[in-house]
Amino acid sequence: MENDLPYLKQFDTAIIVNACGSTIEDYVELAKVLNTLDIDGVELNLSCPNVKAGCLAFGTSYEGVKEVTSQVRKVLDKPLIVKLTPNVTDITAPALGAQDAGADGVSLINTLLGMSIDIHKRRPHLANNTGGLSGPCVKPVGVRMVYQVAQKVNIPILGLGGIVTGEDAIEYMLAGATAVSVGTGNFITPDTAIKVVEGIENYMKQYNIQDVNEIVGAVQMN
C-alpha cells in the first residue's frame, strides 16, 4: 500500500493484488483493506507451500475453498480470483468450491510441492524443508488441470505454470484458459511476456484466427 501501489499507478495497466494468510480471519481482514484501495481485483492465494503454517490446507478441498472464498466475498466488492494448489487428488473439487462461493474466476496452477536435499550435509537445501517447484517442468501438469477444471466450471480460468513461449500459452488456452500468466519465465528472460504475446499473434496469423477467444477450449481430444 505504501510503496508498491503508488509506483504501479504510474503505468496504464490493471493491478491485481495476490493475497494470502494463515487463517480465515487473516484473509477477511486483508480483503477489507484491499477493498478500500484503487485496484482492479484480488487474487486469493489458497496455495502457498512456502509458509509453514499457511494457507495450503484451505485450498485442498471443496469445503475449505468454499468457506474462505465465501467469507472474503462478503467483504470484497472487487473482482475475485481464487488461486488453486495443484497438490490435490482432484483439482475440480476446489475449483467448484470457489465458483459456488462467488469467485469471479480461478487461477491454476500454483507451484508443485517439492524438495531438494544437500547430499553432503544430508539436510534439505531450503530452510523450510519443502518449497514450490515452478518453471517449464510444471507445464504439463498445469495444462492437464486447466483442461479438467474447464470441463466443470463456468467461470473464467487464468492458466499459469511454465509459460515461457507463445506456444506454451496456446496450449493453456486450447485446454480452456481464458487468460494466461507468466511468472518464473520473467526471472529467466525479463521480456518473456512480450515474447509470449508475439508468439500468440504469430500463431493466429499462421492459422488465420481473427479472435483469440476462438482458441479457448478448442482442443480436440483423441
This prediction's pTM: 0.92
Residue range 50-109, pLDDT digits in tens: 444 444 567 888 998 999 999 999 999 999 999 999 999 999 999 999 999 999 999 999
- Provide, rounded to the nearest whole percent, the portion of the chain with pLDDT above 90: 86
What is the C-alpha separation between 30 and 68, in angstroms, rounded?
12
pLDDT of residue 53: 45
User: What cell does 199 get?
Assistant: 508468439
Neighbouring-strand partners of residue 114: 131
In the chain, which residues have pLDDT < 50? Answer: 49-55
**Under a CB-based contact definition with an 8 Å cutoff, are residues 178 and 154 in contact?**
no
**Under a CB-based contact definition with an 8 Å cutoff, are residues 42 and 34 in contact?**
yes
**Under a CB-based contact definition with an 8 Å cutoff, are residues 18 and 83 in contact?**
yes
pLDDT of residue 23: 84
| Maximum alpha-carbon separation in the chain | 57
Alpha carbon distances (Å) from 25 to 29, 85, 164: 6, 20, 36
Nearest Cα residue to 178 out of 203, 154, 201: 154
**Under a CB-based contact definition with an 8 Å cutoff, are residues 82 and 107 in contact?**
yes
Q: Reduced to 3 states, what is the DSSP secondary structure of residue 170? A: helix
Counted residue by residue, the chain has a size of 222
Query: 137 an active-site residue?
Result: no
**Per-domain residue ranges for the chain?**
4-214
Residue 131: how many other CB atoms lie within 10 Å: 18
Instruction: Tell me which of 20, 48, 55, 137 is the catalytic residue.
Output: 48
Residues 6+ apart with CB under 8 A from 30: 19, 21
Neighbouring-strand partners of residue 13: none
Query: What burial class does residue 25 get, using C-beta atoms within 10 Å of its C-beta: 0-12 exposed, 13-18 middle, 19+ buried?
Result: exposed
The pairing of strands 123-124 and 112-115 is unpaired
CATH of domain 4-214: 3.20.20.70
